[in-house]
Amino acid sequence: MPTITFSLKDLQNLVGKRLTIEEIQELAHYGKGDFEGYDKETDEVKIDFGDTNLPYLWSVEGFARLVKGILGMQKGIPEIKIHKGDYQVIVDKSVIKYRPYIACFSAKGCKIDDYLIKQLVQLQEKFCEGYGRRRQKVSIGLYSYKRLAFPVHYKATDPLSIGFIPLEFKAKMNLREILAEHPKGKEYAWILDGFEKYPVLVDDKNEVLSFVPIINSNFTGKLEVGDENLFFEATGTDEEAVNLASNIFAYALYERGFEIYSVEAKYPDRKVVLPDLKSEVINIKNEQIKHLFGLELKENEVKHILEKAQFDFEDYKVKVPPYRKDILHPYDIIEDIGIMYGFDKIKELQLTTLTVGSTFKLNEFIDTVREIVIGIGYQEIMSPILTNKDFLYKKMNIEDFGTIEIEDYMSETYSVVRSWILPNLIDIFSKNKHVAFPQKIFEEGILNTRKGDNIIECSRIAIATSHEKADYTEIRQVLDYIMRCFGLHYDIEEAEHDSFIDGRVGRAIVKGKKVAYLGELNPAVLAEWGLEMPVAALELNLSELWEVVEKK
Amino acid sequence: MEIKKLAESLNPIERKVVKVLDNFSSFHDIIKITGLKDIEVMRALQWLQNKNIVKIKEEQKEIVSLEDNGIKYLKYGLPERIFLEALGSPISIADLAKKAKLTSEEIAISLGTLKSKAAIEITKGKEIVMSITGQGRHLLKHGLPEEQFLKEHFPRELISLNEEEKFVLENLRKRKKIVKVGLTKIISAEFTETGKKLAKEKLDEDLIEKLNPALIKSGAWKGKKFRRFDVKINVPQIFAGRKQHYRRFLDEVRQKFIALGFKEMTGPVVETDFWDMDALFMPQFHSARDIHQGYYVKEPKYAKDLPENVVKNVKAAHENGFGTGSKGWGYDFDVKRTHRHILRTQGTACSARMLASKDLKIPGKYYAIARCFRYDVVDATHLSDFFQTEGIVVEEGLNFRHLKGLLRMFAEEFAETYQIKIVPGYYPYTEPSASLYAKHPQLDWIELGGSGIFRPEMVKPLLGREVPVLAWGIGLDRLAMFKLGIKDIRQLFSHDLEFLRNAKVV
């Protein structure tokens, strides 16, 4: 979730009012933001804005706008004036199949300083990384247009046919070289996977502005302190999203005192004047407010509240400001009514309908088994479910019997879902060799195995005892006791399992179901884990045993 | 304690020690006289000291003691004696070595020592021949000073040695592993004033040490006294079977939900994109999906058992809002991708399954304590494998006011506080969404959970119609850590048996 940083003074200037840190903390909540801190020395405020669909708040200008609404200093959709500009972008048909949309405008009349550059870059990065899906859906460029010869051309070109000096570099490179060598090229090359031609913006003298969406030119695509004529462009695969980017930036720069000039984009089949500030209109109903918030509001109250939230309201028709595209359902507007009304002012109600609480019968059964095993003197443990194959098989002297593996794991240690629990217990023994014996432990939990195309999930309990005299009899007695507690008849048959000593491992069968392995651990396994004490253990399938108990 | 009771409290070993303590005060002597093991005497002295009967004194003293060779020579004789005994008639060195079975080192030492004592004579001819002198015979008969020395009682204090003995000691110390002088802690004990009185008491009384079946059956205990126990004494620790600390906490949370009228709901840990995210109206190609980066399963990649009609509804909700009044996300929903297996990233998957289940009851309250997985580096504050506590309340007529009431109840039940803040939040599947902060008595303000009312675009495709569903997730790990007194989240799954055996039960 995007965390943004800005100067407190700057926020106060934009809002036109002194604000305390406590006030900012409260105000941030209206934007679903969490105040993260204030550094007195640098005057920096940090806020984490949670809503991934409200990118206009990822800039101090956007937050200041919201604050003005909340404080009643500004009502309805904030104004923005657009001058007609004589700038043109020509969209070549070559680019349509790769990255078909562009939105732009020009801004002039203010000198930019170091702080503003940082703010613009912050918004650009947050927008492109999050909302822009790491630049794939939207990427943004800012230029000093004094260096540009209009019209600008947006086209796709052969990677080797064109070259320029990319930002922060000294040598001219062609597009393929940039992808291979420039850090941004390497980072974003995946977006162009499978493209025969690459999208570029060039000016009328064929000077490259940008290799889209990778890197700008060091000549035109670099903002410097003192620049006062800006050209903004956003390109991408989703027209609504590139327009949103353009509108958010246009509003932000307008509120900083820039004059905004329109740009005409000439597509092969149509002409568009940008920025496109058309407002969406959504119909809401008063009952919806009551339905969601239990609030009964008069029409003029609704109007007042929505204007604070910077919507225009007329006869339950709500106009959405052009820097917002998060309204899918009327409820999205109703939520804003609730927020502006104040969550803290909405009165609580208790649930009054009687419902009966319960847990699953299987879980009750599991708890009973746990209680029995604890009663015999076993310490319960709990382990992470994620583990690795070495742990489950190699160190247990057996072959993989069907494992759920993770495709892109973060660390090999946690690369599969456990398929049995006993290794967790052996692991505990290996980590506690210095602790007093006897050590008697158990763990109940979920595990998963893979049988071909099927995934089998079940609950099992593993029980293990380790001390000088630990043996088959002892663990068999544990199993016997559990079975007797439930009045279950069971048989034991000889089994083969290489984690155990040959001839000292059995399988317990209840009503034809093979529910457990039990035996003395193979010294080869003990050696693998560096254990010096004998271990006897069992692993019992509680999901299957429950089926038997339930039917009885 | 009065002296008589004190006397009755002495165990048999203490009694043995008390009886000899008047005459023998050193630890070493007490062992010798009583025939007890040193550990028994030590314990008895400590017990007696605890009862203020004796005072134990410890002193550092220089002590002479025998080493391996010293003990051996004491038993089998010094090499120089063996040497002398073998010297019946003049003999060459080579023959002597054979006859006496001494090592060349021992021969060399014996030769030196005996020469300096003028006990042997060496004649050099064709070969070196040795013979015993009169002095030699005298020594053989009356003993060498070194032999006398070794026969003394060891260990002994250095200051108790006379000049002559000191001279012998210095000689022996030059030889290998015969004697050593070292600083040793000397323990002794003497009676306190109480002890002196106690020593005058009759200590031979026949006290019953341990009641046993024979005594009970025969009635032989009648008229006898039991030795008094020090009931205040510390005892060795025991450990027994018990619940794992975090699991106990989760068990209690579960009990609490049942008490509040919630039914348990569940789902598998190997989920699908469908139940984990798509059914929650989280668009397949949207940044909201970045919040929950998950672990996808290698094989089998796709599930076969998704309910077709529900998938169709969810697809429509994503594409066009499914007649809820929503625009939907307006993209082509990928049906194959929705079948993709993923380890459950959020407990809300259980809520989605419940809403689509034929077992759902309206009105109904449901909870789940669900194992979830996140793509995270495991450290002191993150686990990639953890529990989430989630739930829903489904009932006609419920709204945000009821949600607030519900959240207050949770704050009271789980954080034991009445001070809460409910502020706007963001979740892709709730509208409105709210975060719950609670002022914990010790932890101050903590974020206790997230909540909201499920979006119609989520509810209608699963349930078939729109019903208010209050949804909440509460973060209990911080509270658990606080309650259990642990700082590192990994200790929730601690593998330290000592810690597990001694963890606070809360």
Burial of A548 (0-12, 13-18, 19+ CB in 10 A): middle
Same domain, B40 and B72: no
Please indicate, yes or no, if residue B83 is contained in any of the structural domains.
yes
Distance in angstroms (rounded) separating the CA atoms of residues B182 and A517? 59
The answer, for B329 touching chain A at a CB cutoff of 8 Å, is: yes
Distance in angstroms (rounded) separating the CA atoms of residues A160 and A426? 60
Are B404 and A378 a contacting pair at CB < 8 A?
Answer: no
Checking DSSP bridges between strand B364-373 and strand B263-264, what pairing results, if any? parallel
Residues A58, A60, A66, A68, Cα dihedral to 10°:
180
Distance in angstroms (rounded) separating the CA atoms of residues B188 and A393? 60
Give the pLDDT confidence of B380-398 residue by residue, as tens digits: 888 888 899 999 999 999 9
- Report the pLDDT value the prediction gives residue B290, as an integer from 0 to 100: 55
- Report the pLDDT value the prediction gives residue B498, as an integer from 0 to 100: 93
Name the residue type at position A84.
K
Closest residue in chain B to residue A443, using alpha carbons only: B244
For chain B, positions 284-313, list CB contacts with chain A under 8 A. Answer: 285-288, 290-291, 295-300, 304
| Helices and strands counted in chain A (H then E) | 16, 28
Q: Residue A478: pLDDT band by 50, 70, 90 thresholds?
A: very high
Report DSSP state, residue B223: T
Are A32 and B425 a contacting pair at CB < 8 A?
Answer: yes
How far away is chain A from the Cα of B117, in angstroms, using its nearest Cα? Answer: 57
Tell whether the model's pLDDT for residue A347 goes beyond 80. Answer: yes
Distance in angstroms (rounded) separating the CA atoms of residues B75 and B151? 10
* Tokens found for residue A138: 């939207």
Q: Residue B129: pLDDT band by 50, 70, 90 thresholds?
A: confident
Are B426 and A350 a contacting pair at CB < 8 A?
Answer: no
Q: How far apart are the first and last CA of chain B?
A: 39
Q: Residue B351: pLDDT band by 50, 70, 90 thresholds?
A: very high
Give the pLDDT confidence of A246-288 residue by residue, as tens digits: 999 999 999 999 999 999 999 999 999 999 999 999 999 999 9
Beta strands in B270-419 (DSSP E): 270-272, 341-343, 364-373, 385-394
Task: Write the CA distances from A208 to A90, A123, A176, A216, B214, integer angstroms.
Answer: 14, 24, 15, 8, 106
Beta strands in A21-151 (DSSP E): 33-39, 44-49, 82-91, 101-108, 138-144
How far away is chain B from the Cα of A241, in angstroms, using its nearest Cα? Answer: 12
Tell whether the model's pLDDT for residue B93 goes beyond 80. Answer: no
Checking DSSP bridges between strand A82-91 and strand A152-157, what pairing results, if any? parallel
Closest residue in chain B to residue A329, using alpha carbons only: B326
Query: Residue B211, Cα to own-chain centre: how many angstroms?
Result: 35
Helix residue ranges per DSSP H, A312-420: 330-341, 361-375, 389-392
Same domain, B257 and B203: no
Same domain, B208 and B157: no
- Report the pLDDT value the prediction gives residue A146, as an integer from 0 to 100: 85
Same domain, B497 and B357: yes
Q: Sheet containing A404-405: give its strands across.
A: A386-387, A416-417, A404-405
Residue closest to B407 by CA, chosen among B425, B421, B388, B386: B421
CB contacts < 8 A (A, B): 246
Q: Residue B368: pLDDT band by 50, 70, 90 thresholds?
A: very high
Please indicate, yes or no, if residue B281 is contained in any of the structural domains.
no
- Report the pLDDT value the prediction gives residue B377, as an integer from 0 to 100: 79
With contact defined as beta carbons under 8 Å apart, do A427 and A391 qualify?
yes
Q: pLDDT higher for B21 or A71?
A: A71
Mean pLDDT of A21-44: 95
Tell me whether the CATH fold assigned to A82-274 matches the one assigned to A361-551: no
Q: Residue B200: pLDDT band by 50, 70, 90 thresholds?
A: confident
Class of A280-345 in CATH: alpha beta
The answer, for B239 touching chain A at a CB cutoff of 8 Å, is: yes
- Report the pLDDT value the prediction gives residue B171, as an integer from 0 to 100: 84
Please indicate, yes or no, if residue B279 is contained in any of the structural domains.
no
Tell me, what CATH number does B91's domain have? 1.10.10.10
Q: pLDDT higher for B5 or B205?
A: B5
Question: Tokens 């967790």 correspond to what residue?
Answer: A424
Please indicate, yes or no, if residue B319 is contained in any of the structural domains.
no
Q: Does the structure's ipTM exceed the value 0.85?
A: yes
Question: Tokens 């023959």 correspond to what residue?
Answer: B95
User: What is the domain range of residue B448?
Assistant: 247-269+344-502
How far away is chain B from the Cα of A336, in angstroms, using its nearest Cα? Answer: 8
Checking DSSP bridges between strand B225-226 and strand B207-208, what pairing results, if any? parallel
CATH superfamily of A361-551: Bira Bifunctional Protein; Domain 2 (3.30.930.10)
Tell whether the model's pLDDT for residue B457 goes beyond 80. Answer: yes
With contact defined as beta carbons under 8 Å apart, do A253 and A323 qualify?
no
Please indicate, yes or no, if residue B331 is contained in any of the structural domains.
no
* Tokens found for residue B179: 């004697």
The answer, for B465 touching chain A at a CB cutoff of 8 Å, is: no
- Report the pLDDT value the prediction gives residue A397, as an integer from 0 to 100: 97
The sign of the dihedral angle between the CA atoms of A52, A53, A54, A59 is positive
3-class SS letters over A100-128: CEEEEEEEECCCCCHHHHHHHHHHHHHHH
Distance in angstroms (rounded) separating the CA atoms of residues B349 and B294? 13
The sign of the dihedral angle between the CA atoms of A20, A22, A28, A29 is negative
Q: Where are the domains of chain A?
A: 3-70, 82-274, 280-345, 361-551
Tell whether the model's pLDDT for residue B288 goes beyond 60. Answer: no
Name the residue type at position B215.
L
Are A331 and B377 a contacting pair at CB < 8 A?
Answer: no
Q: Residue B97: pLDDT band by 50, 70, 90 thresholds?
A: confident
Tell whether the model's pLDDT for residue B291 goes beyond 50. Answer: no
Same domain, B45 and B121: no
* Tokens found for residue B426: 């963001």
Query: Residue A35, Cα to own-chain centre: how many angstroms?
Result: 19
Please indicate, yes or no, if residue B257 is contained in any of the structural domains.
yes
Whole-prediction pTM value? 0.81
Percentage of chain B modeled with pLDDT above 90: 42
Same domain, B416 and B490: yes
How far away is chain B from the Cα of A139, in angstroms, using its nearest Cα? Answer: 14
Fold of A3-70: Phenylalanyl-tRNA Synthetase; Chain B, domain 1 (3.30.56)
What is the average pLDDT score of chain B? 88
Residue in A291, A343, A452 nearest the CB of B434:
A343
How far away is chain B from the Cα of A129, in angstroms, using its nearest Cα? Answer: 9
Percentage of chain A modeled with pLDDT above 70: 100
* Tokens found for residue B503: 């963890």
Tell whether the model's pLDDT for residue B202 goes beyond 80. Answer: no
Residue in A339, A347, A455 nearest the CB of B424:
A339
Residues B22, B25, B29, B30, Cα dihedral to 10°:
60
Distance in angstroms (rounded) separating the CA atoms of residues B473 and B426? 13
Q: Mean pLDDT check: name the lowest of A51-65, B12-26, B94-108.
A: B94-108
Strand partners, A507: A493, A517
- Report the pLDDT value the prediction gives residue B1, as an integer from 0 to 100: 59
Mean pLDDT of A87-94: 95
With contact defined as beta carbons under 8 Å apart, do B166 and B181 qualify?
no
Residue in A130, A338, A431 nearest the CB of B400:
A338
Tell me the three state secondary structure of residue B331. coil
* Tokens found for residue A446: 């979920």
- Report the pLDDT value the prediction gives residue A47, as an integer from 0 to 100: 96
Residues A11, A16, A22, A24, Cα dihedral to 10°:
-40
Q: Kindly state the helix (H) or strand (E) to which residue A253 belongs, with its residue range.
A: helix A239-255
- What is the number of domains present in chain B? 3
Residue in A347, A353, A432 nearest the CB of B395:
A353
User: Which residues on chain A are in Cβ contact (under 8 Å) with B457?
Assistant: 328-329
Same domain, B377 and B389: yes
3-class SS letters over B54-111: EEEEEEEEEEEEECHHHHHHHHHCCHHHHHHHHCCCCEEHHHHHHHHCCCHHHHHHHH
Task: Write the CA distances from A328 to B28, B292, B325, B451, B458, integer angstroms.
Answer: 92, 22, 9, 20, 13
Q: pLDDT higher for A218 or B319?
A: B319
Are B365 and A355 a contacting pair at CB < 8 A?
Answer: yes
Please indicate, yes or no, if residue B418 is contained in any of the structural domains.
yes
Tell me, what CATH number does B362's domain have? 3.30.930.10
Are B428 and A385 a contacting pair at CB < 8 A?
Answer: no
The answer, for B378 touching chain A at a CB cutoff of 8 Å, is: yes
Mean pLDDT of A149-158: 95
Beta strands in A225-382 (DSSP E): 229-236, 259-266, 271-274, 280-283, 312-314, 317-320, 379-380
DSSP per-residue letters across B451-500: EEEE-HHHHHHHHSS---EEEEEE--HHHHHHHHT-SSGGGGG---HHHH
Distance in angstroms (rounded) separating the CA atoms of residues A242 and A234? 5
Q: What is the CA radius of gyration of chain B?
A: 44
Task: Write the CA distances from A251 to A222, A347, A523, integer angstroms.
Answer: 21, 36, 73
Task: Write the CA distances from B85 to A179, A525, B108, B116, B407, integer angstroms.
Answer: 98, 61, 16, 17, 101
How far away is chain A from the Cα of B419, in angstroms, using its nearest Cα? Answer: 12
Which of B16-30, B326-340, B435-449 has the highest mean predicted lDDT (pLDDT)? B326-340
Same domain, B487 and B441: yes
How crowded is residue A435: how many other Cβ atoms within 10 Å of its Cβ? 16
With contact defined as beta carbons under 8 Å apart, do B54 and B195 qualify?
yes
Tell whether the model's pLDDT for residue B89 goes beyond 90. Answer: no
Distance in angstroms (rounded) separating the CA atoms of residues B13 and B43? 9
Same domain, B189 and B80: no
- Report the pLDDT value the prediction gives residue B289, as an integer from 0 to 100: 66
CATH of domain A82-274: 3.50.40.10
Please indicate, yes or no, if residue B320 is contained in any of the structural domains.
no
Strand partners, A263: A87, A274
With contact defined as beta carbons under 8 Å apart, do A71 and A171 qualify?
no
Mean pLDDT of A177-201: 94
Tell whether the model's pLDDT for residue A330 goes beyond 80. Answer: yes
Burial of A494 (0-12, 13-18, 19+ CB in 10 A): exposed
How far away is chain B from the Cα of A49, in angstroms, using its nearest Cα? Answer: 9
Residue in B258, B393, B423 nearest the CB of A351:
B393
Mean pLDDT of A166-195: 93
Tell whether the model's pLDDT for residue B359 goes beyond 50. Answer: yes
- Own/partner pairs, B485-490, CB within 8 angstroms, 24+ separation: B487/B380, B488/B380, B489/B380, B489/B381, B489/B382, B489/B383, B490/B378, B490/B379, B490/B380, B490/B383
With contact defined as beta carbons under 8 Å apart, do B220 and B210 qualify?
no
